[in-house]
Amino acid sequence: MGLSLVQSRALLGLEAAAVTVEVHLANGLPSFTLVGLADVEVKEARERVRCAIQNANLEFPNNKRITVNLAPADLPKDSGRLDLPIALGILAASGQIDGARLAEYEFAGELSLSGELRPVRGALATALALHTGRVNARLVLPPGSAEEAALVPGAQVYRARHLLDVVRHFAPPGSPLLEAVDTTAPADDGWARVDAAAPHTAAVITDMADVKGQAGARRALEIAAAGGHSLLLVGPPGSGKSMLAQRFAGLLPEMTTDEALQSAAIGSLNGRFTLERWGQRPTCSPHHSASAVALVGGGCESHQITGININLLYRPA
């Protein structure tokens, strides 16, 4: 019967590894099987995809045996980012969209039960993987994720708000699907190219000039910033270690485009990146109860700034 291939990406640490979604429709006892080392969130895509296709007035092959393979089989897959590729694979295998045109694109997006696309984490890391790997593929993402991925220079990113926006773009010429489907989904800018451009906003940082006194600590911070050294601040609670660490980024030069992309990609992987923080050196403050194993260098609090690590160690007064 029908066989289709759709390209996507899975997050593996700091990398976005390529994943091929293979969908096969065959005669037999109706079923929906998903294989390929999928986590619980990915396996739950079966119900999301079924409801999204049906609520979008598209045909779900309920009388077929559906097998979805996520290749490579030894690569772990998690989150709902594979919902859109799985839905498109089913529609392509059933002949509702042109499967040959899908090869030029990569897709990622979580589907709601109504068919709307929701943002996914790691969009910037996905676009950066295409850029560094010199993969000439277009990327289709939900709103929010598309603007994030467009920060990568030269990226070809398209934003889709609803499953039907993607279906209309890949429907065969003269297909009755283009006239039959009606929906409440927005049709004005549902499918749009997102221009690749970094926001022109100045980084908002706290100023070291706000610190009164602390001459020795300020001098140590200046030396560490000039030489690119790591720094360890030791002192009782309330002595100003956290305040100094939060202002340390103001001594460092502005981030280059490559540094900003790498920093933003890491933030995108855990869902903490926002466009307003583009070009800002992030400062992290783990909980004071973090173990020495969790913090390189030990201690109870660690402030990490891109390019330089500052480990803060609390000791009883």
Q: What's the chain's average pLDDT? A: 84
C-alpha–C-alpha distance, residues 178 and 167, integer Å: 9
C-alpha–C-alpha distance, residues 163 and 144, integer Å: 16
pLDDT at 300: 40
Indicate whether 28 pLDDT > 80.
yes
Weakest-pLDDT range from 48-52, 81-85, 184-188? 184-188
Q: Which CATH number fits domain 3-194: 3.40.50.300, 3.40.190.10, 3.40.50.180, 3.30.230.10?
A: 3.30.230.10
The model's confidence at residue 317, banded by pLDDT at 50, 70 and 90, is: very low
pLDDT at 295: 65
The model's confidence at residue 14, banded by pLDDT at 50, 70 and 90, is: confident
* Contact in structure between 116 and 185 (CB atoms under 8 Å): yes
pLDDT at 183: 47
Weakest-pLDDT range from 31-40, 57-66, 144-153, 195-204? 195-204
pLDDT at 302: 44
Closest listed residue to residue 279, CA positions, set 255, 251, 297? 255
C-alpha–C-alpha distance, residues 252 and 250, integer Å: 6
Rounded average pLDDT over 116-134? 90
pTM: 0.79
Q: What residue spans define the domains of the chain? A: 3-194, 208-314
Greater model confidence, 162 or 2: 162
Indicate whether 292 pLDDT > 90.
no
Pair type for strands 15-26 and 65-71: antiparallel
Weakest-pLDDT range from 52-56, 144-148, 199-203, 241-245? 199-203
Mark 162-187 as b/e (b = at least 16 C-beta within 10 Å): bbbbbbbbbbeeebebeeebebebee
The model's confidence at residue 289, banded by pLDDT at 50, 70 and 90, is: confident
C-alpha–C-alpha distance, residues 157 and 98, integer Å: 20
